[in-house]
């Protein structure tokens, strides 16, 4: 029995060693490649908000996140025309998904500290579509004070 136990140890050792070696190999190989940039609806909106907040005047940067090229140019032009004394939008809470399918999604952005931004709605719902593997905004709707803000879906 003790002999059997030893052999079991031997099998266990080999399995463990093999697992470690495979794990090491995966780790080494993993380090050699740069991870691909993830594309998901929420990060697409976060990037769009950040571009706008920084007043990017690069229309092609907006166009990577917005389906309609004309809107991308309008945002770039708006950023160029605005005064740089104050930010163009309020700060925002972390965006979240309120609806998702394989090809469409809705992301809600709740704006913070709106006091200095007259007319800004409490929240905005962005409609996105997955276009050739990239999530792009196709529409946006203000959610007014009288409306319920859509809840987060898991």
Residues near other proteins (CB under 8 A)? 2-3, 5-6, 9, 13, 16-17, 20-21, 24-25, 28, 34, 37, 57-60, 63, 69, 73, 76-77, 80
> How far is 98 from 18, CA to CA, in rounded Å?
44
Residue 29 · residue 98 · CB < 8 Å:
no
Q: Which of 92, 88, 86 is nearest to 112 (CA)?
A: 92
Q: How far apart are CB 29 and other proteins at their closest, in Å?
A: 8
Q: Which is nearer to other proteins, 55 or 125 (CB)?
A: 55
Shortest Å distance, C-beta 62 to other proteins: 10
Question: Closest CB to other proteins among 35 and 151?
Answer: 35
Distance spanning both ends of the chain, measured CA to CA:
52
């Amino acid at each position: 029995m003790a002999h059997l136990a030893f052999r079991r140890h031997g099998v266990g050792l080999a399995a463990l060693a093999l697992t470690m070696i495979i794990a090491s190999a995966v780790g080494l190989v993993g380090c050699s490649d740069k991870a691909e940039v993830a594309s998901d609806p929420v990060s697409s909106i976060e990037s769009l908000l950040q571009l706008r907040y920084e007043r990017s005047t690069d229309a092609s940067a907006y166009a990577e996140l917005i389906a309609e090229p004309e809107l991308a140019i309008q945002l770039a032009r708006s950023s160029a025309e605005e005064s740089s004394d104050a930010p163009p939008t309020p700060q925002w809470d972390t965006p979240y998904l309120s609806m998702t399918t394989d090809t469409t999604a809705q992301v809600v952005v709740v704006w913070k500290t709106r006091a200095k931004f007259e007319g800004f709605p409490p929240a905005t719902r962005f409609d996105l579509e997955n276009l050739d593997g990239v999530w792009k905004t196709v529409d946006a709707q203000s959610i007014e004070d009288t409306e319920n803000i859509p809840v987060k879906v898991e």
